[in-house]
Amino acid sequence: MTDTSTILVLNGPNLNLLGLREPEIYGSDTLDDIAGMLEDRARELGLEIDLRQSNHEGHLVDWLHEAQATGAKAVLLNAGAFTHTSIALHDAIKGIRTPVIEVHLSNPHTREEFRHKSYVGMAAKGTIAGFGATSYLLALEAAARL
């Protein structure tokens, strides 16, 4: 099965708390708000969004594999804290041909030192960070041009 019009948007741990968790860092938009913005823009671009969130690393790995199996056009991945710890996600990204764009609401390089290393970023096609919810829209624009 090939679906080159779908952009898979994967979100890692604690992103289900967007809008509530540290709004001074992550903003007041909820994940549903972000999904709505992405769906509106994707429709204008002739694309579809499949947005998912999990607090479990293995789900994200499985979904990355699924992206290739279904022929998704690209993956936007906000791996949350797994960004800085997960060799499994790094290896999953390296193991698929589907382009992955790393996304962050905040800029990890302006935060705690442990957030400065990104295993996801080492494997991803590119990274967009620091623009709040707009980071997702910028990543969608980049994915549409791949």
From residue 19, alpha-carbon distances to 52, 69, 114, 140 in Å are 17, 33, 24, 21
Would you state the pLDDT for residue 1? 44
Residue 69, both tokens: 């199996």
- 136 among known catalytic residues: no
- 90 among known catalytic residues: no
Would you state the pLDDT for residue 3? 60
Would you state the pLDDT for residue 141? 97
Concatenated DSSP letters of the chain? ---TTEEEEEE-TTGGGTTTS-HHHH-S--HHHHHHHHHHHHHHHT-EEEEEE-S-HHHHHHHHHHHHHHT-SEEEEE-GGGGGT-HHHHHHHHT-SS-EEEEESS-GGGS-GGGS--HHHHHSSEEEESSTTHHHHHHHHHHHT-
Would you state the pLDDT for residue 2? 53
Q: Of the residues 26, 90, 119, 136, which is catalytic?
A: 26
- Number of residues that make up the chain: 146
For the chain, which domains are there? 6-144 (3.40.50.9100)
What does the pLDDT average to over 86-103?
98
Instruction: Judge whether residue 102 has pLDDT over 90.
Output: yes
Q: Of the residues 90, 104, 119, 136, which is catalytic?
A: 104
CA–CA dist 56, 42 (Å, integer) = 27
Question: What pTM does this model have?
Answer: 0.91
